[in-house]
């Protein structure tokens, strides 16, 4: 199936929900962060990630902080069910650093967060800035030990000469405390900025990718990593492409994919050789020479790639479209969804204000039926792959009231503007949704709009 029609010709998902055709109707659930217009740079959200059961939701920001939200247990059992989250833990993951050898500042911004599957009572996640990856342990503490022999309960050491009897320490209940502690620090392995981290399905290794190299790490070893992809040319003047994203296959521990600024995706098999300089498959759609322009190469650069939960399909996001590929077919995508086709006449101005270089991410729903990505004006797009429907929704403070149903938004190009439509000339390009996440088991989505995290859920 290949969709190439403009978004305005497709049926909207919410329209059908109102007509009782079983499509999702989205409503507002929560918003995190201040809704004031005065935004601090450090508060801008730079990544969003649900853990594997959706009980926790982590965000990273430009200030190097990680905020973890926990699903409210009451919201799962109340009728109607709600997708409410409360703050679980907040900690400073990265600090600003300075590379004295290169005279470069290393900013603290969190580029990516990836959860490990839960093995015990604690939770583990990886977070990275441009240069350093950290493994964090997030654990709960609700008991404390009292009755030490060698020190007072306040922590002051006792004089051994004054100890005349032995006490048996006891565990006493205390107010729940959530602790985040760094267990591993993986540093000094990347010359260029890290753009991706991905945990392997074996839960023992993970990969990290920068502009020219991909490294394979063992979670237990911090001082050694294996370089599995290296596209750096001997002469840097011959550099024609960079790595933009990389991800492990969710089921096959030997497979991973990485995308490039040339619009190609390579699938590599680590069983074939230690250095995966030869790909197993190359996914590329040939440009139509009749539509080539000055901007063709820029807008074909892939900003994100995600393999479906089933492991059969792969989704790539470039500036104008989302493409779905069958991993068994390299020649062309099986589905192509235009995200904001109305911007094509404005590529020149988007190039001048650098918006054309924005890196939009994409995500799958838990069932792989729906895909979601962001756009400008705080719009985000959802596509129903089975019903061939799409919808444009908006994350704004005007709808920040519980159970408010989200109305589809439409953008018009010409002067004839219908009711509820917005002109393409009125779009705010400073308001952009780059990061989104979909709950792995339910229709709950998290959308990062500048410094705010919006949560939406299906209306039951």
- Per-residue pLDDT reduced to its tens digit, 78-88: 877 788 999 99
Per-chain mean pLDDT for the chain = 90
Q: What's residue 290's pLDDT? A: 76
Write out pLDDT tens, residues 66-79: 999 999 988 888 87
Inside any domain, residue 2: no
Q: What's residue 460's pLDDT? A: 67
Write out pLDDT tens, residues 442-458: 999 999 999 999 999 99
Whether 45 shows a pLDDT value over 50: the answer reads yes
Lowest mean pLDDT among 18-27, 59-68, 253-262: 18-27
Q: What's residue 12's pLDDT? A: 52
In the block, which residue shows the tokens 């508060």? 43
* Residue 125, token pair as written in the block: 């996640």
* Residue 383, token pair as written in the block: 């596509």
Give the residues across from 260 on adjacent strands: 243
Rounded-to-integer distance, Cα 297 and Cα 252, Å: 32
Give the residues across from 214 on adjacent strands: 209, 229
In the block, which residue shows the tokens 């392995």? 189
Backbone angles phi, psi at 178, to 5 degrees: -105, 120
Rounded-to-integer distance, Cα 431 and Cα 47, Å: 16
C-alpha atoms less than 13 angstroms from C-alpha of 381 in its C-beta half-sphere: 28
Q: What's residue 13's pLDDT? A: 55
Backbone angles phi, psi at 52, to 5 degrees: -70, -25
Write out pLDDT tens, residues 320-334: 999 999 999 999 999
Inside any domain, residue 9: no
Percent of the chain scoring above 90 in pLDDT: 72
Q: What's residue 389's pLDDT? A: 94
- pLDDT confidence band for 4 (50 / 70 / 90): very low
* Residue 434, token pair as written in the block: 């780059």
Backbone angles phi, psi at 65, to 5 degrees: -95, 150
Q: What's residue 168's pLDDT? A: 83
C-alpha angle 242-243-249 in degrees, rounded to nearest 5: 160
Count of domains in the chain? 1
Tell me, what CATH number does 96's domain have?
2.130.10.10
Q: What's residue 142's pLDDT? A: 76
107-141 exposure pattern, b = at least 16 Cβ within 10 A, e = fewer:
bbbbbbbbbbeeeeeebbbbbbbbbbbbbbebeee
- pLDDT confidence band for 286 (50 / 70 / 90): confident
Q: What's residue 38's pLDDT? A: 78
Inside any domain, residue 359: yes
Inside any domain, residue 280: yes
Inside any domain, residue 322: yes
- pLDDT confidence band for 277 (50 / 70 / 90): confident
- pLDDT confidence band for 22 (50 / 70 / 90): low
Rounded-to-integer distance, Cα 260 and Cα 127, Å: 22
Whether 218 shows a pLDDT value over 70: the answer reads yes
Rounded-to-integer distance, Cα 58 and Cα 46, Å: 11
Backbone angles phi, psi at 350, to 5 degrees: -70, -30
Inside any domain, residue 174: yes
- pLDDT confidence band for 10 (50 / 70 / 90): very low
* DSSP-derived secondary structure for 272-325: T-SS--S-SEEE-----GGG--TTHHHHTS--EEEE-TTSSEEEEE-SSEEEEE
Backbone angles phi, psi at 76, to 5 degrees: -85, -25
Higher pLDDT, 22 or 155: 155
Rounded-to-integer distance, Cα 275 and Cα 203, Å: 21
C-alpha atoms less than 13 angstroms from C-alpha of 235 in its C-beta half-sphere: 2
Q: What's residue 20's pLDDT? A: 47
The parent domain of residue 65 ranges over 26-458
> Whole-model pTM?
0.88
Of 416, 398, 394, whose CA–CA distance to 406 is shortest?
394
Inside any domain, residue 314: yes
Inside any domain, residue 78: yes
């Amino acid at each position: 199936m290949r969709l190439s029609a403009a978004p305005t010709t497709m049926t909207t998902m919410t329209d059908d929900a109102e007509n009782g055709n079983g499509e999702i109707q989205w409503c507002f659930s929560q918003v995190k962060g201040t809704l004031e217009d005065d935004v601090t740079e450090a508060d801008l959200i730079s990544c969003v990630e649900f853990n594997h059961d959706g009980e926790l939701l982590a965000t990273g920001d430009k200030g190097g902080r990680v905020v973890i939200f926990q699903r409210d247990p009451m919201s799962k059992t109340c009728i109607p069910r709600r997708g409410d989250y409360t703050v679980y833990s907040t900690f400073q993951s990265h600090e600003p650093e300075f590379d004295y050898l290169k005279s470069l500042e290393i900013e603290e911004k969190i580029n990516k967060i990836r959860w490990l599957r839960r093995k015990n009572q604690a939770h583990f996640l990886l977070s990275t800035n441009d240069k350093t990856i950290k493994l964090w342990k997030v654990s709960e503490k609700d008991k404390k030990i009292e009755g030490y022999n060698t020190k007072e309960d306040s922590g002051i050491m006792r004089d051994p000469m004054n100890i005349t009897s032995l006490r048996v320490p006891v565990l006493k209940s205390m107010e729940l405390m959530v602790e985040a502690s760094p267990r591993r620090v993986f540093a000094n392995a990347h010359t260029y900025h890290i753009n991706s981290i991905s945990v392997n399905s074996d839960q023992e290794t993970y990969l990290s990718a920068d502009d020219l190299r991909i490294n394979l790490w063992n979670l237990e070893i911090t001082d050694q990593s294996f370089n599995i992809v290296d596209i750096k040319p001997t002469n840097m003047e011959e550099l024609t492409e960079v790595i933009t994203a990389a991800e492990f296959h969710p089921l096959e521990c030997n497979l991973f994919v990485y995308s490039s600024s040339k619009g190609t995706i390579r699938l590599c098999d680590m069983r074939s050789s230690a250095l995966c300089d030869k790909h197993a498959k190359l996914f590329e759609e040939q440009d139509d020479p009749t539509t080539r322009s000055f901007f063709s190469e820029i807008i074909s650069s892939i900003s994100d790639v995600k393999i479906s939960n089933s492991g059969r399909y792969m989704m790539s996001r470039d500036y104008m479209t989302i493409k779905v590929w069958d991993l068994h077919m390299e020649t062309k995508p099986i589905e192509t969804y235009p995200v904001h086709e109305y911007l094509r006449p404005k590529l020149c101005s988007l190039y001048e204000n650098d918006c054309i270089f924005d890196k939009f991410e994409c995500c799958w729903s838990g069932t792989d039926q729906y895909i979601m990505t962001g756009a400008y004006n705080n719009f985000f797009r959802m596509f129903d792959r089975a019903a061939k429907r799409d919808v444009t929704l908006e994350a704004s403070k005007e709808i920040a009231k519980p159970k408010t149903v989200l109305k589809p938004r439409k953008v018009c190009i010409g002067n004839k503007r219908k009711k509820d439509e917005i002109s393409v000339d009125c779009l705010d390009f400073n308001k952009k949704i780059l990061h989104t996440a979909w709950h792995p088991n339910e229709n709950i989505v998290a959308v990062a709009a500048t410094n705010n995290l919006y949560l939406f859920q299906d209306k039951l």
